[in-house]
Structure 1
């Protein structure tokens, strides 16, 4: 059966999330394109792999069998890449939530790269749920996820505390508050990035719990553009307190009072798995920084 690795990853995302729509979004595919690739997998397998229903999709017995083998294949593929890379300068892929990956993690990774000239690091922004799924399936060896999601049976060790704040333009109705509940924020227009990252996913989840949905007046390329939009009065934005605050004259940052707004970034690995030597060195460095 000529299974492609990308198709196996897509199928595992469907199994892990129970939704072809969600798996398509994670793979940056349209729903019709993702559905077509799943149908090709089923044709190659010679039997249905998914039971499709109104709430999503669940694997058939054949689908569960394929999922188990797919995890093994993808894990072996990642180990092969790591072992081959070790011979001529290794690259460690480190998926991280955006609030950490773009702020406190940067100087930590920079220090690691100075100390380890034979290892390269690729930090990629992912949602916590995607990171947990990728580490659990063996697609990556290590990740940094928020403790606000279910970490399953992964080994999880604390790295960084992360407090969320809402950035508002000076003179905004929320300006001057010592702290603010997210329920008081959702009535105001937001500015955010084009990519759906861990922050956007979390805010959408908490908005739904309030029976609301954030209205984004602006979807922009990066955090710097979002801050410029906030300063111009276009909307408000939720960000990590560790993020740079380049324009305090025009932007006020107010701590969110919700319990979920104080979270911990956790280093997650698979229990019983022995990471490659480059990944082990990076893990040791990250934990040493957390203890410091």
Structure 2
């Protein structure tokens, strides 16, 4: 197959406009030139991409597939430009940091803001992954620094305490559980849950905890952030399991009840994960020091 980014941009423009002339205008090409390029693109791929209709065009199945992939290509290009821009603007350092959902949504925003205020010449790439995935990436040298809630047996990494936190149960203020100071996990499994999205560390952890008791959770809704979990629970959708650090400061007892979990696994302390502390580069070492309160 032979085609270039101009061809892909043209195809996306035509597909989104559902019209060859308007799509060509979006990428500043004459309709005749656009039509010629489109025919060459279809010949190169070996199948029609568009169905020409009296009032425009529609996508074939192949066209739908190409549109999906082309959008992903341009999204990756935009991310590449975003990653490279700081270097063109004179940023003199870069640190890659991976963290689990818990850390990303609770403590890291304040920690990273403090670090970047102190080191404005540094840029940070932050990615969210499960703790085991972060640990193994650090062990393989794929990432400089990680923040995790659990280790991986046999992984050759160092773990330094970052923040202490606990998982707690949250429930609507008028819920049957709201008056309890603490509860066992087994005692709440009959209630519907609001959960973080499948694939997140806490989703996997909670499902496994229920399975260990021979039970299955009734998941009423899945959302993308702890804030959304708290809001859904406050609205009466169900109960939730979140880190205490994710519960909004000053949460009113009038809208949300916080119940301690009387389980040994409820303690979910976060740790900074590095391959070898003494081998860290200057800015990675500075980030570590800032995270653990040494800088």
Same fold (TM over 0.5): yes
Distance across 1 between alignment mates of 2:186 and 2:92: 49
| 1:288 equivalent in alignment to 2:282 | no
How far did 1:116 drift? 0.4
Residue 156 of structure 2, aligned match among 131, 153, 156: 153
Can you list the C-alpha shifts for 1:149-184, whole angstroms capped at 9, x where unaligned? 547331111111111111101121211111111112
| 1:196 equivalent in alignment to 2:199 | yes
Can you list the C-alpha shifts for 1:232-274, whole angstroms capped at 9, x where unaligned? 2111111111124245321101111110111321111113772
Q: Which residue of 2 aligns with 1:101?
A: 104
Matches within 5 A, 1:198-277: 198-245=201-248, 246-271=251-276, 274-277=279-282
Structure 1: gaps spanning 5 or more residues: 1-80
3-state SS of the aligned residue for 2:111?
A: helix
Structure 1 residues 255 and 122, CA gap change in structure 2 (3 angstroms): farther
How far did 1:217 drift? 0.6
Can you list the C-alpha shifts for 1:105-126, whole angstroms capped at 9, x where unaligned? 2211111110000112233222
Distance across 2 between alignment mates of 1:144 and 1:251: 29
Higher mean C-alpha deviation, range 136-145 or range 270-279: 270-279
Distance across 2 between alignment mates of 1:89 and 1:266: 27
Distance across 2 between alignment mates of 1:272 and 1:250: 44
Can you list the C-alpha shifts for 1:50-104, whole angstroms capped at 9, x where unaligned? xxxxxxxxxxxxxxxxxxxxxxxxxxxxxxx99x969743332211122222112
Q: Which has the larger radius of gyration?
A: 2
Distance across 1 between alignment mates of 2:191 and 2:131: 26
How far did 1:276 drift? 2.4
Distance across 2 between alignment mates of 1:92 and 1:119: 7
Matches within 5 A, 1:179-190: 179-190=182-193
Structure 1 residues 151 and 170, CA gap change in structure 2 (3 angstroms): farther
Q: Give the TM-score, by structure 1 length.
A: 0.65
3-state SS of the aligned residue for 2:216?
A: coil
Higher mean C-alpha deviation, range 219-228 or range 177-186: 219-228
Over the aligned positions, Cα root-mean-square deviation in angstroms equals: 2.6
Q: Give the TM-score, by structure 2 length.
A: 0.64
Figure out how many residues of one structure are paired with residues of the other and give that number.
209
Structure 2: gaps spanning 5 or more residues: 1-82
Distance across 1 between alignment mates of 2:281 and 2:145: 10
Distance across 2 between alignment mates of 1:263 and 1:213: 22
Matches within 5 A, 1:22-37: none
